[in-house]
Structure 1
Amino acid sequence: MFGPPPPVPAVSLKDFDARKDDITNELVEAAETAGFFTLIDHGITIDEINAQFALSEQYFDLPHEVKGRIPHDIKTNNGWEYKSQIRQSTGTADQKESFWIRRDSEWPTDNEVSNFRDTTKRFMGKCEEISRKVLACFSVALGFPEDHLNEAMDVEAADNLTQMRLIHYMASENSLGTWRAGNHTDVGCLTLLFQRDGEDGLEICPGRESHNDHAIGDTFHPLPAVTGPIVVNIGDMLMAWSDDRLKANFHRVRAKDVGKSPDRYSIAYFNTGRKNVIMQGPLKKYPPITCGEYFLEKTETQFGGTFRRQPVNATARA
C-alpha cells in the first residue's frame, strides 16, 4: 500500500560552521519524523561518486572464485557475501551481494580492481567528514557534549564497528514486487546511502515509536534514486541512544511489479558506536549497554545472529 509521501527534506551542509544552528534544527526535525533526509552541498562531487560506483561494478563483475578470496567473516562482518542475509521479516534471502569494508580490512588487489583500495579509502574519509558534522549536530541537540557521538564512533579506535558496504542487487525478470532487501531497520547509528539515477527500489515506512518496536506498517513510500544527494537515515542504536526521539524507521528495496528490474548498485556507510563504548540516552529511558552488546542483540533479532553460509558456485557470475 502506498500513501502520500512523507517529508524527506534536503538539508544543505553549505557554510556549515556559520549555519550550524540552522542545520541542526533541520536535521533534528527530519530525524524526529521521517527518520530520513538527504544531504546536499556535502563536499563529495558527482565525479567522485561515479568513480566509486565504477569500482564497485568492476568488483562485482569479478568471478565468484575471485571475490570469494575475501569471504564474509561473521566475526568481523567484513568481506564478500552472496545472497546470505535472510530477513526475519521475509524468511528468504535478500537478492543481492555485497562487500563489507573497514579501514583495516583486506582489499582486492590492483590486478583484480585497479586503484580500488586507495580510491575507496579516500571516499570513506569523505564519508567520515560528513558523518562527523551530522553527529556533532545530533550530540548538541540531545544535550550531550558536541564530540560525544563522534568520540563514540572514532574510526581510529581499535574497537570501532563503522563500515562501508558496496551493494549489488542483481537484475531480475518479472519479479512481481519481490524483496531485493526485505523490511528492516539499520542496526547502527547513522547510515549514509549513495544511489544512482534510475536504479530505484528504496521504500520507507515512517511511524515507529520505539527502537524495540517490531511492528511494520503497511504504508511504504518510494524514495527515488538520484546521483549526488546522500540519503541519510537513523539506525536503531541512535534511536535508543536518543531515548526514541530520533526515529529508525523500516525500509526495504523492492523489485518492480511488472517487467525487468535492472541491476541496482548502492553504497552505504554505516556509522556504528564502538564495541566497548557504553551508550545511554540523556533521559536514561533505557539501562546502559555497550554498543557491542546492543549491536549483537539487534543483529540476532534481524538475522538470527549470523549470516547464512551458502556454498558459492565457482563458475557462476553475479
Structure 2
Amino acid sequence: MAASKESYVDRTVPKISLADFDNRIDAIASDIADAAEKVGFFSIVDHGIAATDVDQMFADSESFFALPSEVKTSVPWNAQNVGYEFKSQVRPSTGAADQKESYQLQFGENMRDLWIDDKDIYGFRSRSLAFMYQVQTVSEKLMVCLARALKFQDNFFVHWHDSSKPNSQSTLRLLHYFATPETDDGQVYHRAGAHADWVGVAFSNDCAHMADQPQGFLTLLFQRPGQSGLEICPGREVVTDFGHGDAWTKVDFTASTDIVCNIGDLLMSWSDDRFKSTFHRVKAPCEKGDNFGERYSIAYGCPKRRQLWYNSTNHAFASFFNQPRKDALIQGPKKKYPLVTGGEFTANAMKMYYAASKAATESHDQSKATPNLSSRVVAATA
C-alpha cells in the first residue's frame, strides 16, 4: 500500500486516576473537565475494573467472532443497535466496506432473543452483563464529574443513563478488525474512519481512511496493547462545524486496563461547546510499523435518554436512546444555541448527513475522472 502523506504530531492524552474517588472528586472533576476542554480525549486508570475481567471480556469477544458465520448471523443487528453485523458500513466515497465485524450488547429488552446461546459460548451472557455493569459504574463516576464541571446537580447525567430501565440503550460494542495485506493488492481497505462521536467529515487518502461522526454522549474504549490504530485530530471548536486540525496523533495503550474516554457530539452541544468532540479514527494500516494483523477492541457508549429536556433549568424522564424525542427541548446551560426540539435537532443532523454523503459521492465520481485530485474530501457514514 502507498505511504500516508498526512502529518503527525505528538500530543499528550491526559491520564487520570480515579483512585480514592469520593475524597478526590473535585480534583478528578477538574482534571476531566480540563481534558474535555483541551483534547476531548483522556484515559483513566485506577477505575476498579480488574485486568482479569477485561481479559475475560476480550477472550469472550474472540470466542464469539471465531464462531461459524451461521451462528453469528443467528443474532442479527437491528435498528435498536443490538446484534451482530459484518462489513455493514460502506464508505460512500469509495463504495468499499469497513474491514470489521461487531456485536452490540445492551442491558434491556432490546436484547431479547439476540444473546448468543450458552451452547455456543457457555456463560457469555452472564459474564458480559457483569462486565457491562462494571463499566456503567465507572461511566457514572465520570458523569458526576462532568455534571459538576457544568454546574449541574451531581446526578443530572446519571439520571438519564439508568441501566436498570428495561429499554436502556447504553451499548457495549465488541469489535473485530480483520487483518489486511502488507503489500498493495489493488484493493481498498477501511477500518474505522475519522469520526467525532451523528454526521461527519471524512478523509480519503492513500491509506483509505474514512470518517463518520455519530451522535453520542461519552464513549469508553478498551484496546489490546500492541494492536495499534487509534488516532485523534483535535481542532474542532463548535458542534455545528466539522473543523479539525491538520495533524493526527497516535494513541497508544500501555495496559489493557487503560480506558480511553472521548466526548461525543451530544455532550459537546450540552456543554455549549466547552467540551470538545474530537475527530478520531482507526487507521487502515498502510506503512511500516502499522498493525496489519487482527485488532480487537471493546467500546461502551453512553447515549442519552429519549425523553429529555436538556438545559440548565428543566429536568426529564424516560429511556435511553441515540437521538432526542421529537418534543424534547434542547439547549445548553449558557444557552449558546437557540432552543430547538428533539425533532429539529435530529432533522438538522440528518440534513448534514445527507449533504455530506452527497458530497462524498460527487467527490468520488470526480476523483475517478481526475485520478490525481487532492485527497481531502467530505464524507459520512451511519
One of 107, 128, 136 as aligned partner of 2:136: 128
Identify if the C-alpha distance between structure 1 residues 196 and 290 changes in structure 2 by more than 3 Å, giving closer, same or farther: farther
Choose 267-276 or 174-183, whichever is displaced more: 174-183
Identify if the C-alpha distance between structure 1 residues 86 and 119 changes in structure 2 by more than 3 Å, giving closer, same or farther: same
Which structure 1 segments of 5+ residues have no match? 305-318
Q: Alignment partner of 2:26: what SS?
A: helix
> For residue 98 of structure 2, what is the aligned residue in structure 1?
94
Query: Whole-Å Cα distance in 1 between the matches of residues 354 and 298 of structure 2?
Result: 21
> For residue 52 of structure 2, what is the aligned residue in structure 1?
47
Choose 104-113 or 131-140, whichever is displaced more: 104-113
Which structure 2 segments of 5+ residues have no match? 1-5, 198-214, 311-330, 356-382
Q: Which amino acid aligns with 2:132?
A: M
Identify if the C-alpha distance between structure 1 residues 215 and 89 changes in structure 2 by more than 3 Å, giving closer, same or farther: farther
> For residue 250 of structure 1, what is the aligned residue in structure 2?
279
1:284 paired with 2:284, answer no
Query: Whole-Å Cα distance in 2 between the matches of residues 119 and 292 of structure 1?
Result: 37
Identify if the C-alpha distance between structure 1 residues 204 and 67 changes in structure 2 by more than 3 Å, giving closer, same or farther: same
One of 235, 238, 245 as aligned partner of 1:210: 238
Do the aligned partners of 1:38 and 1:230 also contact (CA within 8 Å) in 2?
Answer: yes
Q: Which amino acid aligns with 1:229?
A: D
1:200 paired with 2:200, answer no
Choose 154-163 or 261-270, whichever is displaced more: 154-163
Query: Whole-Å Cα distance in 1 between the matches of residues 77 and 343 of structure 2?
Result: 19
Q: Deviations over 1:2-34 (max 9, x none)?
A: 333222111000000000010011001100011
Identify if the C-alpha distance between structure 1 residues 301 and 71 changes in structure 2 by more than 3 Å, giving closer, same or farther: farther
Do the aligned partners of 2:231 and 2:283 also contact (CA within 8 Å) in 1?
Answer: yes
Query: Whole-Å Cα distance in 2 between the matches of residues 69 and 197 of structure 1?
Result: 31
How many matched pairs? 305
1:191 paired with 2:219, answer yes
Deviation at 1:295, TM superposition (A): 6.5
Deviation at 1:185, TM superposition (A): 1.3
In the TM superposition, 1:149-168 aligns within 5 A as: 149-168=157-176
Q: Which amino acid aligns with 2:259?
A: I
One of 240, 261, 264 as aligned partner of 2:269: 240
Deviation at 1:271, TM superposition (A): 0.6
Identity %: 42
In the TM superposition, 1:1-318 aligns within 5 A as: 1-74=6-79, 76-87=80-91, 92-104=96-108, 105=111, 106-174=114-182, 178-186=189-197, 187-226=215-254, 227-258=256-287, 261-279=292-310, 280-288=331-339, 294=345, 298=349, 301=352
Choose 169-178 or 236-245, whichever is displaced more: 169-178
Q: Which has the larger radius of gyration?
A: 2
Query: Whole-Å Cα distance in 1 between the matches of residues 95 and 70 of structure 2?
Result: 27
Deviation at 1:292, TM superposition (A): 8.3
Deviation at 1:209, TM superposition (A): 0.6
Q: Which amino acid aligns with 1:7?
A: T
Q: Deviations over 1:202-259 (max 9, x none)?
A: 0000111111212444311110134111000000010000001000010010132236
Do the aligned partners of 2:96 and 2:189 also contact (CA within 8 Å) in 1?
Answer: no
Query: Whole-Å Cα distance in 2 between the matches of residues 287 and 193 of structure 1?
Result: 33
Deviation at 1:85, TM superposition (A): 1.6
Aligned-residue Cα RMSD (Å) equals: 2.5
Larger RCO (CA within 8 A; separation ≥ 6)? 1
Identify if the C-alpha distance between structure 1 residues 142 and 302 changes in structure 2 by more than 3 Å, giving closer, same or farther: same
Q: Alignment partner of 2:7: what SS?
A: coil
Query: Whole-Å Cα distance in 1 between the matches of residues 182 and 344 of structure 2?
Result: 41
Query: Whole-Å Cα distance in 2 between the matches of residues 224 and 9 of structure 1?
Result: 12
State the TM-score, normalized to the length of structure 1. 0.88
State the TM-score, normalized to the length of structure 2. 0.74
Q: Deviations over 1:154-205 (max 9, x none)?
A: 2223553311100000111127795311111112111000000111000000
